[in-house]
Amino acid sequence: MRLPPTPRLRRIGSRRKGQSQGQKGRKGRTGRRRWVPSWKLVSGLAVLTVGSVAGAFAVVYQMVDIPGENVDARRQATVYYWADGSRMVSVGDVNRQDVALDQVPDAVERAAVAAENADFYSDSGVSVTGIARAVVAMFKGGETQGGSTITQQYVKNTYLSQDQTVTRKGKEFVLALKVNSRMSKEDILQGYLNTSWFGRDSYGIQAASYAYYGIPADDLNPSQGAFLATLLKGADSYDPALGPANRERAVDRWEWVLDRQVETGVMSAQERATYKDFPEPKKPTKPTSQAGQIGYLMDITNKYLKSRIGLTGKELALGGYRIHTTFEKDKVDALAKAVEKVRAEKLDPAKREADRHVEVGAASVRPEDGAIVAVYGGSDAIKHFSNNADTSGVPVGSAFKPFVYAAALKRQGAFPAKAAEQRARAGTSLAVSLLKSENSLYVQTGKKLGLDKVRDTAIALGLRKESMAKLEPTFSIGTSTPSAVRMAGAYTTFVNDGERRDPYSVTKVERNGVALDGLDRPGTVRALDPEVAQVVSEALLGVGRDSIARHGKSWSDAFVRAAKTGVNDRMKSAWFIGTTPELSTAVTMFRTKPDTPQLLGMQGVGGGDSERGGVFPPLMWTYYQLAVAPDSLKKAWPSPVRPETASPGPVREAVTVPQPFETTS
C-alpha cells in the first residue's frame, strides 16, 4: 500500500517548476520579489536603528558636560630657538580683549552673522550637514573648516582643542546643542566675537579692531566691520598685508559680505551702494621682541610650518609650541652687519634721490643639506613688514642665465669621457656669454630650446612655479621673480653635482612634550646629471672670479665655487649669488615705494659709477663671507687688499637687449 507523502516532500513537490532547493524565498513571492524585504521588516529595522542611535546619543549627551574654558592653552608661550638650542624669541600670552556685545556696533554683528551663519538666531546650534562634510574631508585628508555654525565655532574656540579629529567634532556637536539650550543667542554671539581668530596675533573683535584700524570696536563702521567679518574665513588668506593675492581675495570677500547682508535683509541696497571703496587696514605692527631680523626669521619659519605640516597662524597663536630652527645667530648678525655697512658707506638718501627707497634682501643656505642659516629681510621687521628675503616680486636678471645654460647642456645628452670633449660639446659660446653677460645669445638659446624647457629646468633646480614669468623671449634673461631663499638654494645644485636639496628652516616642533610629525629634513632629488652641473659650476667660477676682482680682491677657487651677478638696463634690481663649499648666499637690491605697485628704477643708485647699484650686492656678499668663512679659506684668499678699501669698478652687466626683445619690467 502506498504511503501518503510527508509534509516536507509535499512542500518540495509543491514548488513551481524551475525552483531549486537553494532558491527559498518569501511565501507567496516569486522571482526577484522573493528577496525584497517587506515594509514591515524595513520599518521595524528603521525604528530599531533610530531607537538605538537615539538611545546612544542620549547617553552621550548626558555624559558630556560643558567644561571650563581652555584658558590654560592660551597662557602658554610659543618659543623659537636658534640652531644651537638657545632661545631666539618667546611669543607670550594671546592678545585678547573681551568686550560686551553692546560695545560692538549692530552693523558689525550683522556682518559676522551674514558671513558665517545667516540662520544663527533660529538654528539649533549645530549643522548636521556641516559636520558630515567635515568628517568626510578629514577622512580624505582635506580641510575640515567650513560648515560649522557660530555656536559650534564658539564651542571649539572656548572649550575644545584645535585638533581636527572625528572625536573632537563629535564633542563639538554635543556641546553646541547643550550650549544652545543653556545660553542666549546674544551671549553666544558675544563669546564668539571675543574668541575668534582675526590674524595679526589678535583674538576677538576688540583686539582685531586695534590691529587693523587702530580704533576700539565700537568705532568700527559697517564697511570696516564687513572686512573684519571676512577674516573669520581665514586671516592667513585674507589679510591684505600678506601679499597681492591676499588683497584680491579680501576685496572679493568684503564685497560678498556686504552683498550677503542685502540678500539676508539686514542691509538695504541703498546703504550697500555707499560702500564702494575697500576699507584699507593699516600696516601691521609687531612687538619690540620681533625687532631687527627676528620678525623675518619667524615669518619664514611660520610659512615653512604651514606649507610642510599645515600648522596655521591661528594654531601657533594659541601657544605652547617649541620651535627649533636652522638659523645661526652669528651668521644672521654677520649678514645684517654686511648689508648695513655697505648701505651706510655707499648710499646717501639725503644727497641723492636715487638712494631713497632702496631695499635689500638676502638669504644664506648650507649646500650640505639645504638648511637656511641666515636671512636679511629688511632694516627692521617692526618697521618694514615685507620680508625681502622671501619676496617674489623682484626680477632676477642675468642670475637666471645658469638655468638656461643647464637646460642647453641637458638637451645635448650624455657627455664624452674626456673633459676637453665635455667642454667643447657643452657650448663654449654660452659660457663666454655668461661671463660677459651678453643677452642676445641667451634669448636665442631659450627660443631654440623651448622656453618651457628652460622653465622646467629652473623649477627642477628648486625655483617655485608661481615665481616664473610669462614665456616671452626675455624669459631667458631673467624676467622671473624668485626669492633670495630659492635662488640661494637653487645654486647649491650646481656645486652638489646636480643634486637638489630644498631649503628648510625647522628641525623640530614640540607641544606638550610631544614632537610633531612631518618635519623630517627634505630629501635629495637628482635635478641635473653630474657632468652638466660641473660644467655650469666651472663657468660660474669664472663669473665669480671676475665679479669679486672688481672690488680689489684676488680670487681663490677654493673659496667660491660658483657666482653670478644679475642686472641690466631694464631690470629694476641687482643680484649676486655666490656659492662656497659651506654656504650659498643670494643678495638682491631693488627700490620700492609704499603704495606703489611697480619697482622704481635703479639708475643713479649709489652714484654714477655704481651702474644701477650692481656693484653693491657682491660687496655685501664679500663682507659677509669674510665674517663667517673658516680661517683656512680666508687664508686661501691671498690679496692684502680689503674690500672696504676698494672702489667699485664698472659693471659689465649692462647690455641692452636688442629689439624686439626689450623688457618693460
Examine the domain organization and report whether 252 and 358 are in the same domain: no
Does residue 41 have a pLDDT over 90?
A: no
Q: Is 83 inside a domain boundary?
A: no
> Long-range contacts for 409-414 (Cβ within 8 Å, ≥24 apart)?
409/531, 409/532, 409/535, 409/536, 410/457, 410/528, 410/529, 410/532, 411/449, 411/453, 414/529, 414/531
Nearest to 192 by CA among 231, 225, 148, 154: 154
CATH value at residue 536: 3.40.710.10
**Cα-Cα-Cα-Cα dihedral sign, residues 210, 213, 214, 220:** negative
Q: CA 9 from chain center: how many Å?
A: 78
Q: What pLDDT, on a 0 to 100 scale, did the predictor assign at position 52?
A: 54
403 and 492, same domain (yes or no): yes
pLDDT tens, residue by residue, 199-217 = 988 889 999 999 999 999 9
Q: What's the rounded Cα separation, in Å, for the pair 476 and 441?
A: 10
Q: Which residue has the cell 621682541?
A: 289
How many domains, the chain?
Answer: 2
Largest Cα span, the chain: 135
Prior bond of 660 cis (ω within 30°): yes
Model confidence at 72, pLDDT cuts 50, 70, 90, reads: very low
Q: Are residues 362 and 284 in the same domain?
A: no
pLDDT the model gives residue 140: 52
Same domain for 486 and 371: yes
Element containing residue 624 per DSSP (H, E) = helix 616-628
pLDDT at residue 545, as a whole number: 63
Work out the average pLDDT over 656-660: 24
Task: Give, in degrees to the nearest 5, the angle at Cα 427 between 421 and 433.
Answer: 140
Q: Which residue has the higher pLDDT, 520 or 654?
A: 520
Q: At which of 265, 288, 311 does a domain end?
A: 288
The domain that contains 102 carries what CATH number?
1.10.3810.10
Q: Which residue has the cell 627707497?
A: 357
Q: Are residues 396 and 544 in the same domain?
A: yes
| Residue 97 per-residue DSSP state | -
The residue-averaged pLDDT of 487-503 equals 96
Q: Domain range for residue 586?
A: 354-499+523-645
Task: Tell me what the mean pLDDT of segment 386-391 comes to.
Answer: 92
Asked if residue 6 is part of any domain, the answer here is no
Query: Mean pLDDT over all residues of the chain?
Result: 80
Q: Which of 120, 91, 258 is nearest to 183 (CA)?
A: 120
Strands 78-81 and 202-203: unpaired
Domain-located, residue 337: no
> For residue 313, is it within any domain?
no
pLDDT at position 641, please? 40
Whether 231 and 208 have beta carbons less than 8 Å apart is answered as yes
Using the Cα atoms of residue 248, residue 250, residue 256 and residue 259 in order, give the sign of their dihedral.
Answer: negative
Let me know if residue 12 belongs to a domain.
no
Residues 393, 257, single domain; the answer is: no
The confidence score (pLDDT) of residue 67 equals 60
pLDDT at 18: 45
Is 489 in the same domain as 626?
yes
Mean pLDDT across 532-546:
81
Three-state secondary structure readout of 407-420: HHHHHHCCCCCCHH
Are both 274 and 387 inside the same structural domain?
Answer: no
> What is the per-residue pLDDT across 6-40, written as a single tens digit (0 to 9) for each?
444 444 344 444 444 444 555 555 666 666 666 66
Is the domain of 106 the same as that of 193? yes
Q: Tell me, yes or no, whether 44 lies in a domain.
A: no
In a domain, 16, yes or no: no
Same domain, 618 and 530: yes
**Last-in-domain residue among 288, 311, 329:** 288
**Within a domain: 244:** yes
How far apart, in whole angstroms, are the C-alpha atoms of residue 115 and residue 232?
8
Domain boundary among 288, 309, 340: 288
Instruction: Give residue 422's pLDDT band: very low, low, confident or very high (50, 70, 90).
Output: very low
Is the pLDDT higher at 263 or at 558? Answer: 263
The structure's pTM equals 0.74
What's the distance, CA 111 to chain centroid?
29
Q: Quick check: 605 and 591 in contact, CB under 8 A?
A: yes
What are the Cα distances from residue 6, in Å, to 9, 21, 278, 422? 5, 17, 91, 98
Q: Do 268 and 402 share a domain, yes or no?
A: no
Considering 199-213, 250-264, 625-639, the range whose residues carry the highest mean pLDDT is 250-264
CB 191 within 8 A of CB 158: yes
Q: Is the pLDDT of residue 222 over 80?
A: yes
Confidence of residue 612 (pLDDT cuts 50, 70, 90): confident
Q: 420 falls in which pLDDT band (50, 70, 90)?
A: very low
For the ranges 212-221, 422-431, 465-474, 596-605, the lowest mean pLDDT is seen at 422-431
Reply yes or no on whether the pLDDT at 412 is more than 90. no
What does the alpha-carbon distance between residue 170 and residue 163 come to, in Å, rounded to a whole number? 12
**Domain identity same for 259 and 135:** yes
3-state secondary structure of 549: helix
Residue 351: CB atoms within 10 Å: 9
96 CB neighbour count, 10 Å cutoff: 18
Q: How far apart (Å, rounded) are the C-alpha atoms in residues 269 and 199?
A: 30
